[in-house]
Amino acid sequence: MLKSASIGKNARQLRRKRHVRCRIALNCNVPRLSVNRTCKHISAQVICDKTGRTLATATTTAKALADQMSGKTKTERSAVIGAEIARKAKEAGVDQVVFDRGHSKYHGRVKALADAAREGGLKF
């Protein structure tokens, strides 16, 4: 039996998440853009790890964005969230962030969110 097959899905996700967080810890002076992806929704937060505060947040479940979300695919919704988190972060005075994808791989919805946040003016 292959070693990777014997390790469970949750253990692989935890290992990937710890690897990403370890790399982010090197840039602790900059707030991080944390992305959480589920089967239906995606959410993003700009977090200052020094103070432990959330500076900006955006999610597909927000009622304020319901009209923008209707009739779009999940990838298109992720792009809307990326643009919204960039706007809110700029309002909070954040220009540069470190991207924290968690255990998610950098493609599809996570990549669409990151690209939209870059277009919105965030640097990472």
Among 3.40.50.970, 3.90.260.10, 3.30.420.100, 3.30.70.860, name the CATH number for the domain at 28-119: 3.30.420.100
Instruction: Spell out the domain ranges in the chain.
Output: 28-119
Query: Average pLDDT, whole number, for the chain?
Result: 91
pLDDT at site 1: 43
Question: Which pLDDT belongs to residue 107?
Answer: 94
Tokens matching residue 68: 């923008």
pLDDT of residue 6: 64
pLDDT tens-digit map of 32-69: 999 999 999 999 999 998 888 999 999 999 999 999 99
Rounded Cα gap, residues 30 and 120, in angstroms: 18
Which pLDDT value is given to residue 21?
Answer: 83
Whole-angstrom distance, CA of residue 47 vs CA of residue 41: 20
- For residues 93 and 63, the answer to whether their CB atoms sit within 8 Å is no
